[in-house]
Amino acid sequence: MNSMPVKRAAAAIAFAIGLAVTAPAWPDAFPSRPIHLIVNFAPGGTGDIVARLVGNRLSSVLGQSVVVENRPGAGGTLGARDVVGAEPDGYTLTVAQTPEIAINPFFMKGAGYDPRKDLQAIALAGVVPLALVVPANAPYATMAEFVKFLRTTDRSVTFASAGIGTPGHLAGELLKLKLNNKLTHVPYKGAAPALNDVVGGHVDFYFPGFPAAVPLMQGGKVKLLAVSSGKRSSAAPEIPTVAEATGIADFDFSLWVGFLGPRALPMDVAQRLNKAINGILLEPDMKSRLQNDGMEISTLSMDEFAGFVRAEIAKYQAIITAADIKAE
């Protein structure tokens, strides 16, 4: 019997086994250990809620544990920097929001990263509009009446924010540029004290996140006059947008939440994550839960999300420049 075919077959088998051992296992072997989702702010916020809801389902879909870690600090840039410097293998991602991606890296000194170059956009979870609220005893009941007041009043009008450079601050600055140069910004250390002073009538208006405003409106503590997004919120379709009432083109401010990873993340891993996350967001129970919290679900491709991020960065940079806002 000729042993050559047998030897050749054995060699072919050995070669195939060698390939199986040394070839990259993407995407079938991913994930093979727990995935860590870094939230860049304290527990309880919008990003934290999304991370825990989606992370729990992602664990089931991918068959691996998903661990949510809160790393607050430096306007969200501390946690984001950790992800920028993480191994680009899909096991460390950030569930990020507007400030640490679209504003602070270009506004704060020493942020240390450019999300356009240093992070890979994976999936946009959705957007939460801001809500323009005024004290319950304010003399105007509608956004149209408030706009008329802003355009005609001689007194200085104050607006609160959760801090310099936050979306609510920049929304107020755009109103100042377009409607009334006498608007005075009053920054607070967070949304809660800012809202408290609106309720108490110590400031004239504020743009908090929509979910934070609704309970106060329902309790009769504030008036919710408008939403800051480009279109009305499905959670409160009777509330007009600021753009509708003011005629300010492209007035669109929102708190959005998205999943990003280190820049060199393998594309097949990123695409698998995009598909899994988008699928979870469209599940009826998940969609209903997030929409009840005021979030508009938005499932984009990775390229679409990257384009969205670039547009958000350009928008906020233009306002910061026009209003000459300086970081503290």
pLDDT tens digits, 245-257: 998 888 988 889 9
Q: Which of 314, 301, 276, 312 is nearest to 124 (CA)?
A: 301
Please name the residues in contact with 30: beta carbons below 8 A apart, sequence gap of 6 or more: 90, 269, 272
Q: How is 234-291 classified by DSSP, letter by letter?
A: TT-TTSPBHHHHH--TT---EEEEEEEEETT--HHHHHHHHHHHHHHHTSHHHHHHHH
Q: Which of 190, 170, 163, 169 is nearest to 45 (CA)?
A: 190
Residues 192-235 have pLDDT tens digits of 899 999 999 999 999 998 888 888 999 999 999 999 998 898 88
User: Is residue 213 domain-resident?
Assistant: yes
Mark which of 203, 225, 246 sits at the end of a domain.
246
User: Is residue 316 domain-resident?
Assistant: yes
DSSP structure class, residue 76: G
Q: Which domain holds residue 236?
A: 131-246
**In a 3-state reduction of DSSP, which class is residue 141?**
coil
Q: Which of 315, 259, 327, 263 is nearest to 97 (CA)?
A: 259
Same domain, 86 and 190: no
Q: Which of 210, 203, 117, 120 is nearest to 167 (CA)?
A: 210
Residues 113-161 have pLDDT tens digits of 999 999 999 999 999 999 999 999 999 999 999 999 999 999 999 999 9
Same domain, 150 and 240: yes
User: Is residue 17 domain-resident?
Assistant: no
Residues 30-71 have pLDDT tens digits of 999 999 999 998 887 788 989 999 999 999 999 999 999 999
β-strands 35-39, 66-70 pairing: parallel
Number of domains the chain is built from: 2
pTM of the model: 0.80
State the Cα–Cα distance between residues 137 and 77, nearest whole angstrom: 38
User: Is residue 5 domain-resident?
Assistant: no
CA distances from 103 to 125, 216, 310 (A): 19, 28, 11
User: Is residue 196 domain-resident?
Assistant: yes
Residues 1-31 have pLDDT tens digits of 455 444 454 444 444 444 444 334 444 589 9
Q: Contact, 328 vs 109, CB < 8 A?
A: no
Same domain, 136 and 280: no
Q: Domain holding 286: CATH number? A: 3.40.190.150
